């Protein structure tokens, strides 16, 4: 088979994501308005990497750089490596904080390699992108939200990982409390037990269903009712209690926020914290007085998901969102 032809340059933007959202371990994800942007193009030979912003030190990683690894794996599936590759990353997503930086790197790499290959989309359809990214990441929740945007529910069936996208109510404001130090997901997954009590699994199943309802249905127009429902819906017994020992500050902050009536959870595998606020103002009125030393940002939900621009000489090209359909 002939190798693929390559187009000239692509730009891919990918959102941060918060996974689990409390009870939805390894299945729920929310895309957030914090982004990494990569530009990639074909060179006559070699590999050149530039990284600015978060993770700037990863530029020296060469072939081991996560975006490059994802690109190489994708090119391999598409039947051919380019002669040389250049990559520039502008990163806003903090690394190792539970905000989906690795999912963002993987998704951007897979989409960039696919877009650089002229018939890439035909060779690697969207469902295959999700499957490849989830295989790289080890679980589908972050990569699904990163690809599709909005609120996602991911699962793995006989035919591989799948996801659906939902639209959270605009009134709900996600706020992230960014932990000052990173913690590896591998470490945070290593403390989880192989077996959990049936009652805990049942409690989480109910809470996950309630959480989807509370985030997407306008049944509780009264603010207190909505926050009370979200507080109940974000309870978790499957991962946060086990992880508390390796992230005591995170567990303490989640506990303080919840005691103050704020629906707060560990963001992904931690150590950052995600809270659902009723408005941007709540950031001042509820949280400023609590003396929380971590950076706090009220964000928007990213409703578009990953987007790709083909940049050809003399033209900036058009943006193609990847989040419009479920793969």
Residues at the contact surface with ligand HSE, assessed by CB under 6 A: 19-20, 25-26, 139, 141-142, 185, 188-189, 239, 268-269
- Closest CB to ligand HSE among 141 and 302? 141
Among candidates 305, 221, 239, which has minimal Cα distance to 23? 239
- Closest CB to ligand HSE among 38 and 103? 103
Whose structure tokens read 């706090």?
Answer: 296
Q: How far is the CB of 24 from ligand HSE (least distance, A)?
A: 8
Among candidates 252, 242, 31, 259, which has minimal Cα distance to 145? 31
Q: How far is the CB of 293 from ligand HSE (least distance, A)?
A: 23
- Closest CB to ligand HSE among 91 and 117? 91
Nearest-5° Cα angle at 205, 267 to 149: 45
Q: How far is the CB of 40 from ligand HSE (least distance, A)?
A: 24
Q: What are phi and psi of 116, to 5 degrees?
A: -75, -20
**Which residues, other chains included, contact 276 with Cβ-Cβ below 8 Å and sequence gap of 6+?**
172, 173, 174, 175, 215, 227, 230, 234, 262, 263, 264
Q: How far is the CB of 145 from ligand HSE (least distance, A)?
A: 10
Q: How far apart are CA 118 and CA 130, in angstroms?
A: 20
Q: How far is the CB of 19 from ligand HSE (least distance, A)?
A: 4
- Closest CB to ligand HSE among 9 and 243? 243
Q: How far is the CB of 76 from ligand HSE (least distance, A)?
A: 25
Q: How far apart are CA 70 and CA 84, in angstroms?
A: 15
- Closest CB to ligand HSE among 13 and 267? 267
Helical (H) or strand (E) element with 125: none
- Closest CB to ligand HSE among 117 and 185? 185
Q: How far is the CB of 173 from ligand HSE (least distance, A)?
A: 22
- Closest CB to ligand HSE among 87 and 110? 110
- Closest CB to ligand HSE among 26 and 36? 26
Whose structure tokens read 């040389």?
Answer: 84
- Closest CB to ligand HSE among 65 and 239? 239
Q: How far is the CB of 4 from ligand HSE (least distance, A)?
A: 32
Q: Which residue is nearest to ligand HSE (CB)?
A: 268
Check: CB of residue 82 under 8 Å from CB of residue 116. yes
Q: How far apart are CA 42 and CA 85, in angstroms?
A: 5
Alpha helices in the chain (DSSP H): 66-77, 101-116, 120-123, 126-137, 141-148, 185-190, 198-216, 223-233, 240-243, 248-259, 281-282
Check: CB of residue 193 under 8 Å from CB of residue 242. yes
Q: How far is the CB of 97 from ligand HSE (least distance, A)?
A: 10
Burial of 156 per CB tally in 10 Å (0-12, 13-18, 19+): middle
């Amino acid at each position: 088979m002939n190798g693929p032809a390559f187009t000239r340059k692509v730009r891919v933007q990918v959102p941060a994501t918060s996974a689990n959202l409390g009870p939805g371990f390894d299945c729920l994800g929310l895309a957030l308005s914090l982004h990494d942007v990569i530009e990639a193009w074909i060179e006559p030979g070699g590999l050149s990497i530039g990284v600015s912003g978060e993770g700037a030190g990863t530029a020296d990683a060469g072939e081991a750089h996560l975006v490059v690894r994802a690109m190489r794996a994708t090119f391999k599936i598409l039947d051919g490596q380019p002669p040389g590759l250049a990559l520039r990353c502008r990163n806003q997503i903090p690394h190792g904080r539970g905000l989906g930086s690795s999912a963002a790197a993987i998704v951007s790499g897979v989409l960039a390699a696919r877009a650089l290959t002229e018939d890439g989309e035909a060779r690697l359809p969207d469902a295959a992108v999700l499957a490849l990214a989830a295989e790289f990441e080890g679980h589908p929740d972050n990569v699904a939200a990163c690809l599709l945007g909005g609120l996602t529910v991911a699962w793995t069936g006989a035919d591989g990982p799948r996801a659906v996208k939902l639209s959270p109510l605009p009134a709900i404001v996600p706020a992230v409390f960014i932990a000052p130090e990173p913690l590896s997901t591998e470490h945070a997954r290593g403390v989880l037990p192989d077996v959990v009590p049936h009652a805990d699994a049942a409690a989480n199943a109910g809470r996950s269903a309630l959480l989807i309802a509370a985030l997407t249905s306008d049944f509780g127009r009264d603010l207190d009712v909505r926050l009370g429902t979200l507080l109940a819906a974000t309870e978790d017994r499957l991962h946060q209690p086990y992880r508390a020992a390796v992230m005591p500050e995170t567990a303490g902050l989640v506990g303080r926020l919840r005691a103050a009536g704020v629906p707060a959870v560990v963001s992904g595998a931690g150590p950052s914290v995600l809270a659902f606020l009723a408005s941007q103002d709540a950031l001042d009125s509820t949280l400023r007085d609590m003396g929380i030393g971590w950076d706090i940002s009220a964000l928007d939900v990213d409703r578009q998901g990953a987007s790709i621009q083909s940049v050809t000489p003399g033209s900036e090209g058009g943006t193609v969102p990847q989040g419009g359909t479920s793969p």
